[in-house]
């Protein structure tokens, strides 16, 4: 088998006509005979490109409103026969080889997205196109198949450079693309027909996989793939610097990006094991970074950090990467932002292993969530709603700033259940995650962890005399708003919060014991707000 195959005869039949005339001209210039069908033929002839009508090859007319055009013994044989083993038989049957198929299919997806009725959907199911594509792809040793208009320029360039031939490497690449194309096409048709029968089905395809160093643990293999035909995905991250990303790094990166994507001002999230241990929003990026780090300085070690705005050198200097004492340098795994200033990049590159990654969190517009289980799949809409109401249900009427209210829900929504967060607005207007507790089998433990974290952080920031520390804690905890991802089933969480000095609690409500919980708030002088929206995250 020759590496290069001279393209002497090409069959062109496309639904999307963009760019096809330019490719056809290049084929004609190399002496290639071009066979074509109705609509495509008209476009090419308008460009003065000589065309052989497909009916002259098949010996049959186009029939049934265009349903029958290319399907024939002559066409499929010209694509499928083995040029070495079957040459004599092909000669006897008067079958001339077709060396190239250029075909994109009826626009079923476009028609579906227009909410067309079943009759129109059926008419836009291509039969002859997939048959030609699959036949040519199966015989890639001798035939090239082009299904993507974005490949025309590359194909045209190779034809020019090789006097009208295509290499086996190109044909193999096109073959893979062709089978993916027809598989995706048939999958969409199948799921759409199920949808018309009110049956939910889902067919997923992922390609462009890259092997990772290992999976979640060193004895597991890991891979990172991209969903077929997706315009943009997490795999489109741009790694500017640092060592190879791991499975866990990528998982944490998703959580980090999600944590800042809905923040409107300058935001910073610090992620450890997919949970934000630090989160802040404000005007000054360096100060926001410091606030987020102060949320849990111990857990911030070895973390993944995300920003939602261009990162400056002043911001990253907080890491003290050039400190003489190694212990003064703040070790992190990854820093992600939509962009970095040039001097920020130069500063970060001092650490040879630190991954510096560009990714715009605003492009993370995920609509669905999936969890793969044993030979099964859980599928749901993404939790993109923050709250449905802001209803004060207690005698005490807490005045929670709208920005802080939204910030608290964003922080809590990202944590795994049972999730509790304590947030506050600082004197300069910045908002900070002061404490969090999550992943516990009961909500009481999460509340206790949150309070413990708040006290530890307040102790770190306190500069006064020891005897006045509790007064400082009392003053700060009164500013805190505590958020819960789900309802409080009992009043014990209210009692713990009140004991810690917290005056305001936000929760979705919906428990059969809501009245008892509200009554306890009224007894203790605690304000409570219902959001009407639960944010459980397993």
Residue 416 is a catalytic residue: no
The owner of tokens 């499975």 is 247
Give the Cα-Cα-Cα angle 346, 350, 351 (nearest 5 degrees). 130
User: Which of 25, 138, 235, 363 is an active site residue?
Assistant: 138
Which segments within 130-257 are labelled E, that is strand? 144-146, 165-167, 206-211, 223-227, 238-241
Q: Residue 16 has which token pair?
A: 């999307």
| Contacts of 85 by beta carbon, 8 Å cutoff, 6+ apart | none
Are the CB atoms for 491 and 520 separated by under 8 Å? yes
DSSP 319: G
Distance CA 436, CA 428 (A): 22
| Contacts of 184 by beta carbon, 8 Å cutoff, 6+ apart | 205, 228, 229
Distance CA 341, CA 345 (A): 6
Residue 138 is a catalytic residue: yes
Q: What is the total residue count of the chain?
A: 538
Beta-strand pair 33-36/52-53: parallel
Distance CA 165, CA 171 (A): 10
Distance CA 478, CA 204 (A): 50
Are the CB atoms for 79 and 96 separated by under 8 Å? no
Are the CB atoms for 409 and 531 separated by under 8 Å? yes
Q: Would you call the peptide bond into 418 cis, given omega within 30 degrees of 0 as the criterion?
A: yes
User: Which of 25, 141, 273, 390 is an active site residue?
Assistant: 273
Beta-strand pair 4-6/165-167: antiparallel
Are the CB atoms for 278 and 292 separated by under 8 Å? yes
Residue positions annotated with a catalytic role = 138, 273
């Amino acid at each position: 088998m020759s590496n290069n195959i001279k393209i002497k005869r090409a069959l062109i039949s496309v639904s999307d006509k963009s760019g096809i005339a330019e490719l056809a001209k290049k084929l004609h210039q190399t002496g290639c005979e071009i066979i074509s069908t109705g609509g495509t033929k008209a476009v090419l002839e308008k460009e003065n490109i000589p065309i052989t009508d497909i009916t002259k090859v098949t010996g049959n007319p186009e029939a049934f409103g265009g349903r029958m055009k290319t399907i024939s013994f002559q066409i499929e044989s010209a694509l499928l026969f083995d040029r070495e083993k079957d040459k004599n038989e092909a000669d006897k049957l008067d079958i001339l080889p077709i060396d190239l198929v250029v075909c994109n299919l009826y626009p079923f997806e476009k028609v579906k997205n227009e909410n067309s009725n079943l009759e129109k959907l059926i008419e836009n199911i291509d039969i002859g196109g997939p048959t030609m594509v699959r036949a040519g792809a199966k015989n890639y040793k001798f035939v090239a198949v082009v299904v993507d208009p974005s490949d025309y320029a590359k194909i045209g360039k190779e034809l020019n450079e090789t006097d009208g031939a295509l290499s086996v490497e190109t044909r193999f690449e096109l073959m893979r693309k062709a089978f993916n194309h027809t598989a995706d096409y048939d999958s969409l048709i199948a799921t759409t027909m199920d949808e018309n029968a009110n049956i939910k089905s889902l067919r997923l395809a992922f390609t462009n996989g890259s092997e990772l160093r290992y999976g979640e643990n060193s004895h597991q293999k890991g891979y990172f793939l991209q969903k077929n035909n997706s315009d943009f995905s997490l795999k489109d991250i741009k790694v500017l610097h640092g060592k190879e990303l791991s499975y866990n790094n990528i998982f944490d990166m998703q959580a980090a990006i999600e944590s800042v994507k809905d923040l409107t001002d300058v935001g910073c999230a610090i992620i450890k094991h997919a949970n934000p241990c630090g989160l802040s929003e404000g005007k000054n990026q360096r100060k926001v970074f410091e606030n987020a780090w102060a949320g849990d300085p111990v857990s911030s070690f070895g973390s993944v950090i995300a920003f939602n705005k261009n990162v400056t050198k002043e911001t990253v200097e907080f890491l003290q990467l050039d400190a003489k004492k190694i212990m003064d340098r703040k070790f992190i795994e990854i820093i992600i932002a939509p962009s970095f200033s040039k001097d920020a990049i130069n500063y970060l590159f001092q650490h040879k292993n630190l991954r510096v990654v560009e990714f715009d969190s605003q492009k993370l517009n995920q609509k669905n969530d999936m969890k793969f289980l044993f030979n099964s799949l859980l599928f749901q809409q993404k939790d993109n709603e923050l709250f449905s109401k802001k209803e004060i249900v207690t005698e005490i009427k807490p005045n929670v700033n709208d920005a802080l209210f939204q910030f608290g829900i964003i922080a809590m929504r990202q944590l795994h259940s049972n999730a509790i967060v304590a947030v506050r607005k600082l004197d300069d207007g910045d908002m900070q995650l002061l404490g969090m507790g999550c992943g516990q089998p009961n909500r009481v433990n999460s509340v206790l962890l949150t309070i413990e974290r708040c006290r530890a952080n307040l102790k770190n920031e306190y500069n006064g005399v020891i005897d006045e520390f509790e007064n400082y804690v009392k003053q700060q905890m009164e500013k805190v708003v505590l958020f819960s991802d789900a309802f409080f089933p009992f009043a014990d969480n209210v009692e713990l919060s009140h004991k810690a000095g917290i005056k305001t609690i936000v929760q979705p409500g919906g428990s059969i014991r809501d009245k008892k919980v509200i009554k306890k708030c009224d007894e203790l002088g605690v304000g409570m707000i219902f959001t009407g929206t639960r944010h459980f995250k397993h």
